[in-house]
């Protein structure tokens, strides 16, 4: 069943322009069709009452619990090509609450101030579609681009930076995630294609981020993000 994030006034549903097009032209919805609408973190079973004009009404609230028990913040270096799009989509499917983009020493992709809003709006659209597809009731917040000093503003009970220079296994990473309590926040920082400098790791450490290994192999940045978030969501689902 199709899901859209939308607005609900009393029992009337108001979709975005894009979603009206998707529902009526792509999905070719019929009168009587049922869809799921997410509004203000609530999920409603709704029905298409008419198409011209489009009228969608809520029928009842759906109680569901698809969100992780702890809040996951991904701090991700901007990546080349469409790798950032991939990470935004997969991080959303894996339950992330917020994605903060990091412009670090070795980040190749620089977002100009003039492109910032357009780029963030585009990443929001990717996250919205992924949240609808994966049946989430929350679209991850994607609104910040920081440099390394911006790490000091990040509030979380568990703050980790994945450092490819660490030797050894992912045990320390697993142990720190295992200690997470429901309602707590975990922030995980993933570097760019060129990795982190030791100076950046020292600075992150100063801001309270513990360096962790993600295992014995050096993963591509997009793989590292997906791996780390898979471990976190898997462990949190077991709580």
CA–CA distance, 217 with 6 (Å, rounded to integer): 42
SS (H, E, C) 53-83: CEEEEEEEEECCCCCCCCEEEEEEECCCCCH
Decide whether 138 or 188 has the Cβ nearer to ligand SAH.
Answer: 188
Number of residues that bind ligand SAH (CB under 6 A): 18
Among 51, 62, 146, 219, binds ligand SAH (CB under 6 A): 219
List helix spans (H) across the chain.
Answer: 17-21, 83-93, 113-133, 171-178, 198-206, 221-237
Residues 150-189 that bind ligand SAH (CB under 6 A): 162-164, 166
Decide whether 150 or 215 has the Cβ nearer to ligand SAH.
Answer: 215
Decide whether 35 or 224 has the Cβ nearer to ligand SAH.
Answer: 224
Pairing between β-strand 12-14 and β-strand 7-9 as defined by DSSP bridges: antiparallel
CB of 145 to ligand SAH, least distance (A): 17
Decide whether 48 or 74 has the Cβ nearer to ligand SAH.
Answer: 74
| Residue in this structure with the two tokens 């920082």, named with its chain if needed | 189
Among 149, 218, 230, 234, binds ligand SAH (CB under 6 A): 218
**Residue 44 makes contact with ligand SAH by CB under 6 A:** no
> Which x/- pattern over 81-110 shows residues binding ligand SAH (rule: CB under 6 A)?
------------------------------
Residue 193's CB is within 10 A of a number of other CB atoms, namely 15
Question: How far from chain centre, in Å, is Cα 82?
Answer: 16
CA–CA distance, 166 with 58 (Å, rounded to integer): 52
Nearest CA among 43, 134, 122, 144 for reference residue 90: 134
- Residue 99 has which token pair? 């994605």
**Window contacting ligand SAH (CB under 6 A); options: 3-11, 16-24, 129-137, 219-227:** 219-227
Helix (H, G, I), strand (E, B) or coil at 115: helix
Decide whether 16 or 223 has the Cβ nearer to ligand SAH.
Answer: 223
Structure letter (DSSP) for residue 53: T
**Residue 224 makes contact with ligand SAH by CB under 6 A:** yes
Rg (CA), the chain: 20
CB of 130 to ligand SAH, least distance (A): 21
**Residue 221 makes contact with ligand SAH by CB under 6 A:** yes
Among 95, 102, 130, 195, binds ligand SAH (CB under 6 A): 195
**Residue 46 makes contact with ligand SAH by CB under 6 A:** no
- Residue 57 has which token pair? 């009404």
Decide whether 39 or 161 has the Cβ nearer to ligand SAH.
Answer: 161
What does the binding site for ligand SAH look like in residue numbers (CB under 6 A)? 162-164, 166, 190-191, 193-196, 213-215, 217-219, 221, 224
């Amino acid at each position: 069943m199709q899901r859209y994030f939308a607005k609900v006034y009393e029992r009337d549903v108001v979709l975005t322009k894009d979603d009206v097009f998707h529902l009526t032209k792509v999905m070719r919805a019929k009168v009587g069709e049922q869809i799921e609408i997410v509004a203000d973190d609530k999920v409603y079973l709704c029905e298409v009452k008419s198409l011209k004009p489009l009228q969608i009404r809520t029928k009842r609230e759906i109680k569901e619990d698809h969100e992780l028990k702890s809040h996951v913040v991904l701090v991700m270096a901007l990546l080349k090509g469409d790798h950032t799009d991939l990470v935004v989509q997969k991080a959303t499917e894996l339950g992330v609450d917020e994605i903060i983009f990091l412009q670090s020493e070795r980040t190749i992709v620089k977002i100009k101030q003039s492109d910032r809003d357009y780029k963030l709006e585009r990443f929001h659209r990717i996250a919205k579609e992924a949240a609808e597809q994966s049946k989430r009731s929350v679209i991850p917040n994607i609104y910040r681009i920081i440099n390394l000093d911006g790490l000091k503003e990040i509030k979380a009970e568990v703050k980790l930076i994945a450092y490819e220079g660490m030797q050894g296994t992912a045990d320390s990473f697993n142990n720190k995630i295992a200690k997470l309590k429901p309602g707590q926040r975990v922030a995980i920082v993933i570097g760019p294609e060129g990795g982190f400098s030791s100076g950046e790791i020292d600075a992150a450490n100063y801001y309270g981020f513990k360096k962790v290994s993600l295992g014995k192999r050096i993963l591509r940045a997009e793989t590292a993000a997906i791996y780390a978030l898979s471990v976190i969501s898997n462990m949190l689902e077991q709580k």
